[in-house]
Amino acid sequence: MTDPLTAADELIERTRSTRTEPGANPQLEALALSVSANLPVLLWGEPGIGKSAALQQLATALDVPLETVIASIHEPSDFAGLPIVGADPAVQGVPMAPPDWAVRITKAGRGLIFFDELSSAPPAVQAALLRVVLERRVGSLALPESVRVVAAANPPSSAADGWHLSPPLANRFVHLRWTHDPRIVARGLTGTWPDIMFPQVNAARAAGAVARARGIVSGFLTARPGLTHHLPTDAEARGGAWPSPRTWEMALRLLAFGTACGASREALAAALVGAVGDGAGLELLNYLEELDLPDPNRVLADPEAFSLPERGDRQLAFLTAVVSAVQSEPSRARWEAGWVVLAKAVDAGVPDVAARAAFDLAVMREPAWPAPSHLDAFVDVLRLSGALP
């Protein structure tokens, strides 16, 4: 006769048996894109909608270990480390011993750390977690670069003893709103869930993607300087996504990864809004829709064949992208092609737009490279800046 508990366990395993299928899911794609870019991610959603399950699915897809830490039940010392006094503290110092989960994932060399119930953690615990997210250190232990950090939180209204996140901690995450799709849930309960397609970086597009992202962010903030840093006034908004130089750097990386990986517009939009907030993010998305920035590497390959955009912010975005492309793969031919591009800005009657790009291009000159013929238009500006004697 079969043991009753054995039969029960076998039935439980049958209910857990599932499969996955390809399917468009911008929510999962935005999570995978942010994790690929090695940016800390914070999933906001009501209890029981599958945040933890998504992390387990992502770890399985990447074939990496997953360490789940319930932030709300830990003490600050669980993240800052416990002091261990050695033989001679005056000489050796007092190291801070890390917890077991940090040791395990460091030994593995790669993986996902999942901090759950972050909004239920008191401010002292959040402050200790700040160092883990910012410096990637747990006690005296440095986490490997290939370890990714993801957290989850319930809105304070639905969290047990919920707290608003402190602004310094909140400003270090990409905030993704986690919701459930009834159709996906219904399909999943039949045994089939959507697959997480982890983004694959196209190495051939990487350099151009970074140059394009630099141009976009630089051009946008030139047009909207007030959005460079804007700390919200109310506590709830300060505990979410808002624009700062740090989060614009995150947006730049997301743009570069989105281009290099061919991410969908919906997933990239969710990630960008999650980095810099609703207002700044939506303005950036509108800017992207209208920008239509050409590939700077293609322009450098044939600089005579392109036309300079008419709007000043677009001109600056494009010229910044061109200079960044030259910086990423410097050669005499590409450097000289960059001057041909800048000369078109002079011909268009906007030398002031090209002045900063001209300075950046000038300082890249190798001693053996002759001065380009197009340099004459920028001589006065470069002399004033000190780039030319």
Residue 351: pLDDT over 70? no
The rounded distance, in Å, linking the Cα atoms of 1 and 352 is 88
Section 218-240 average pLDDT: 89
Residue pLDDT, tens place only, 113-144: 999 988 888 888 888 898 899 889 998 899 99
pLDDT at 158: 61
Give the dihedral sign, CA 113/116/119/124. Answer: negative
Cβ(88)–Cβ(42) under 8 Å? no
Residue pLDDT, tens place only, 33-71: 999 999 999 999 888 888 888 888 889 888 999 999 998
Residue 190: pLDDT over 90? no
Other C-beta atoms closer than 10 Å to the C-beta of 285 total 14
Surface-to-core class of residue 356, CB atoms within 10 Å of its CB (0-12 exposed, 13-18 middle, 19+ buried)? middle
Surface-to-core class of residue 349, CB atoms within 10 Å of its CB (0-12 exposed, 13-18 middle, 19+ buried)? exposed
Query: Which residues, at least 6 apart from 90, have a Cβ–Cβ distance to it below 8 Å?
Result: none
Task: Determine which helix (DSSP H) or strand (DSSP E) holds 182, and give its type and residue range.
Answer: helix 182-188
DSSP for 115-142, written as a single string:
EE-GGGS-HHHHHHHHHHHHH-EETTEE
The rounded distance, in Å, linking the Cα atoms of 353 and 311 is 11
As a whole number of Å, the end-to-end CA separation of the chain is 95
Banded pLDDT at 109 (limits 50, 70, 90): very high
Phi/psi for 34 (5° steps) reads -65, -40
C-alpha Rg value of the chain to the nearest Å: 25
Higher pLDDT among residues 181 and 87, named by residue:
181
Residue 157: pLDDT over 70? no
Residue 387: pLDDT over 70? no
